[in-house]
Amino acid sequence: MTSLYALPLNVIIVLTAAIFVGYCWFGCIFLRPFLRIFVKGRGNSNDVVGHVLSCFGVFYGLLLGLIAVASFQNLSKVEDNVAREVASLDALYQDVGTYPAPHGQNLQWLLREYCRFVFKYGWEQYASGEIPEGERTRIEAFHERLLAFNPETETQKIVHAETIRQFNVFLENHRVRENAITTGIPSVMWYVVLVGAVLNIALIWLFDMKFITQLFLGGILSFFLGLMIMLIGVMDRPFQGDVSVSSQPFEILYWTKMRDT
């Protein structure tokens, strides 16, 4: 699947159409004469096949609809969590900026380096479904430096306690985003979706109609069915492919608030 996500979206659409429509037309040309034996001689064969296809389509369409909505909601949740992580990183950066020199400058530098690493190097590894070790290393280095600071005044103690709390919020958001890198639809669910598509198209071959009409109607249904499955697929991995979560929030934070400090 990772190699498919590396392809442009328009190429994936063309491949999807070729596979699903090609499968439908292949069955119409080569398999339809043999399958027609099961319904041949029945005057109401189209009615029987139509009822079966309608019932099958209701359950299968409901399954596709629920999975598509779940995939879109998961993508939206990951985008929202990225925004929360950036917001907590921004607040943490501002908090450590109030620390006395050189502690404040060192802590800000570590956060600045983390932010730069995320959008410049980390996002490339996300596209391969990998979790970059560089992020954890930079977070651990910041945590150690933060705990090494010894506040001397009451004001510094209050600020230090708030900074630690803010760091925990940032760390929680980071771990949620990190877990989302490998999230996706279970393999068994993909198996049910693909088997359902194969059976749904196969029922079209049983209709008794003109050959050209069957190719046309079957091609339209197969093409749309393929697009639905493709839609679920491109949203399945939030950090892979053209339809994915952007690193722009980290870039904006870095260039607008971190780069000049």
Going by pLDDT thresholds of 50, 70 and 90, the confidence category of residue 41 is low
Going by pLDDT thresholds of 50, 70 and 90, the confidence category of residue 57 is confident
Read off the pLDDT of residues 175-203 as tens digits, 9 standing for 90 and up.
999 988 888 888 899 999 999 999 999 99
Q: What's the CA gap between 51 and 187, in Å, rounded?
A: 30
**Can you give the residue ranges of every domain in the chain?**
2-258
Two tokens, residue 133: 């070790």
Q: Stretch 149-174: mean pLDDT, rounded?
A: 94
| pLDDT exceeds cutoff 60 at 261 | no
Two tokens, residue 21: 């429509």
Identify the residue with better confidence: 168 or 4: 168
| pLDDT exceeds cutoff 80 at 118 | yes
Question: Which residues, including other chains, have CB under 8 Å from residue 219's CB and lie 6 or more apart?
Answer: 21, 24, 25
> How much is the pTM?
0.85
- pLDDT above 70 covers what percent of the chain? 97
Question: Which residues, including other chains, have CB under 8 Å from residue 179's CB and lie 6 or more apart?
Answer: none
